[in-house]
Amino acid sequence: MAPDPITLELYRHRFSGIAEEMGITLQRTSYSPNIKERLDFSCALFDGAGRLVAQAAHIPAHLGAMPDSVAAALAVFDSWQPGDVVILNDPYFGGSHLPDITLVSPVFLDEGHDEHAGGSDLNVAESDVTHASPSAPHFFAASRAHHADVGGMSPGSLPLSTELYQEGIIIPPLKLYEGGELVESLLDLILRNVRTPDERRGDLAAQRAAHAVGERRLRELTTRHGNDELLAYAGHLRKYSERLTRAAIRTWPDGSYTFEDPIESVIDGHTTAAPIRVTATIDGETVTFDFSGTCPSIYGSLNAPLSVTRSACYYVVRCLVGEDVPVNAGCFAPVQVDAPPGCLVNARPPAAVAGGNVETSQRITDAVFGALAQALPDRVAAAGQGTMNNCTMGGENADGSPWTYYETLGGGMGAHPQGDGFSGAHVHMSNTLNTPVEALEMAYPLRLTRYHLRRDSGGAGKHRGGEGIVREYEILRPTTATILSERRAIAPWGLAGGDPAAPGRNLLIDTDGSEEELSSKVTRRLQPGQRLRIETPGGGGWGRKT
């Protein structure tokens, strides 16, 4: 039967509201400032076949790739019971990069399941684990959170690595909980391989608490409306989104559009351009992104698994089809992503990928937008800052306890046909917040000495690109710092005659006031009194300035 349109809209918000509430729970119960303050996490619901039902408005780089995480869990485990929780972070088995730890748990809605408050060494505040005979789950709850350290060769686990094994602990899909019982040996193994085990324990507990909320809300819906209606409308929403997405793509002009945008590969301090080439082919109600011509995997951590590439392509299509389309698996059905195996955007193990999820994803996004700008010149903005300006630090506090810090920094958004770009914004694949100065100085042996917009960094044009920011850290304890950034040598491009933006800069200011310009990818051991300044790129301008 055809769905009732009013009921369909209600279920759209019911499902997305559950994902949003899961995110609020994760934020409020988390330990690390990276999750609690910056909101570097994502939550979503999937149906029993692993198809996305709804997501919260969280991190684009996470959410487009999370279906691969659920698919990886389903590929390994064909038997589920209430209380199971699968953990994984393997970039070549459903993950993105190692700091992004994903949890996947089944949701059973059969009436008659007994409520069970499962015990936990993770100190979950809310537990709605249910127990029943093993059967096929009706839904899956999933969360992905960027953990501020998962081991590896430098604090923060975004090192200047050359192979995956240097980046931290690799977790294939494994059951962290079986039937509500914690697999303590697995948790012990994970925590022994990270620098800040107490923080990791707390953040994993927060993820599990989020899943408990998601399960409880789904069970409340089935109690009120029944399993049949709940499951039927999950399917109706998927088909509805697919119809809307196909209808939107049909309005785009058919043809093939090619664009190339390089990423900055740094080897032994020398920067070379590693091209990302994409051809977008619009054919009726489908679009295919072909990355043939992209360079092979490179020596360094900028390689991206295919799940990250898909995520960037899905994000661009989602931006262009409009906000009225519910985000679920139906949005992805008309989109095909092809990339040669072993290339920069379809890496093969053991290629390093720490920077692929955070930096290469941004350049893939720029390249795909650049291609579609040729088809939709009145819809696409100039390039934004094109980087997350990743900054990781770590060391020991005065009492000998370890600390690790991670942050991505905002910059300029590209100008667009309707107006100027935003300034100091997290553009495209990030969508996080900053760490407030008060929270940063309370949690870490750091002091913020500058934090302001970077004037005149946006590209000029009929509409001006947004401004980058300047953020300067004074080091208070011996610290190992790593910067993983882009758009330091190659500026964000303008569109329709607009000027490019100012590229970013990384500076080390010594105690005597002397300045050293640092590479876009660098690790340094810093001493008290030294300052690290990051000047982020602006956004490109749009249209010729009259």
Q: Residue 387: inside a domain, yes or no?
A: yes
pLDDT digits (tens, 9 = 90+) for 454-468: 999 999 999 999 999
* Residue-level pLDDT at 112: 42
Residue 117 lies in a domain: yes
Element (H, E) at 230: helix 227-250
DSSP per residue, 260-288: EEEEEEEETTEEEEEEEEEEEEEETTEEE
With contact defined as beta carbons under 8 Å apart, do 229 and 141 qualify? no
**Domain final residue, candidates 220, 243, 266:** 243
Side-chain half-sphere of 223: how many Cα atoms within 13 Å?
A: 8
Does a structural domain hold residue 328? Answer: no
Q: Is 367 a domain residue?
A: no
**pLDDT tier, 126 (very low <50, low <70, confident <90, very high otherwise):** very low
pLDDT of residue 56: 84
Who contacts 134 (Cβ-Cβ below 8 Å, separation ≥6)? 79, 80, 81
Please report whether residue 277 resides in a domain.
no
CA distance 393 to 527: 12
Domain annotation covers residue 507: yes
pLDDT digits 0-9 by tens, 272-316: 899 999 999 999 999 999 999 999 999 999 999 999 999 999 999
Is the distance from CB of 219 to CB of 337 less than 8 angstroms?
A: no
- Confidence class for position 322, pLDDT limits 50, 70, 90: confident
Answer yes or no: is pLDDT of 336 > 80: yes
From 346, 383, 378, 355, select the one nearest 368 (Cα to Cα). 383
pLDDT for 367 equals 98
In the block, tokens 């990791």 appear at 200
Residue 92 neighbours by CB distance under 10 Å: 18
pLDDT at 121: 46
Q: What is the mean pLDDT of residues 18-33?
A: 95
Question: Is residue 313 included in any domain, yes or no?
Answer: no
Average the pLDDT over 432-438 and give the result: 91
pLDDT tens digits for range 226-272: 999 999 999 999 999 999 999 999 999 999 999 999 999 987 777 88
pLDDT for res 119: 35
Question: Tokens 């941004």 sit at which residue?
Answer: 362
192 band by pLDDT with thresholds 50, 70 and 90: very high
pLDDT score of 266? 83
Higher-confidence position of 177 and 325: 177
Give the pLDDT band of residue 125 (cuts 50, 70, 90): very low
Of the three residues 228, 243, 258, the one that is the final residue of a domain is 243
Q: Report strand pairing: 335-338 vs 286-290.
A: parallel
Cα 66 from Cα 360, distance rounded (Å) = 18
- Confirm whether 265 is domain-assigned: no
Residue 66 predicted with pLDDT over 60: yes
Contacts of 80 (CB under 8 A, 6+ apart): 106, 134, 135, 136, 137
Task: Report percent pLDDT > 90 for the chain.
Answer: 87
- What pLDDT does 2 receive? 83
Instruction: Tell me what pLDDT residue 111 has.
Output: 59
pLDDT, averaged across the chain? 93
Q: Say what percent of the chain tops pLDDT 70.
A: 95
Q: Which of 187, 222, 243 is the last residue of a domain?
A: 243
Average pLDDT of the segment spanning 136-152: 95
Q: What pLDDT, on the 0 to 100 scale, is given for residue 514?
A: 97
pTM over 0.75: yes
Domain span at residue 396 reads 381-546
Our count of domains for the chain comes to 2
Q: Is 215 exposed, middle or buried (0-12, 13-18, 19+ CB in 10 A)?
A: buried
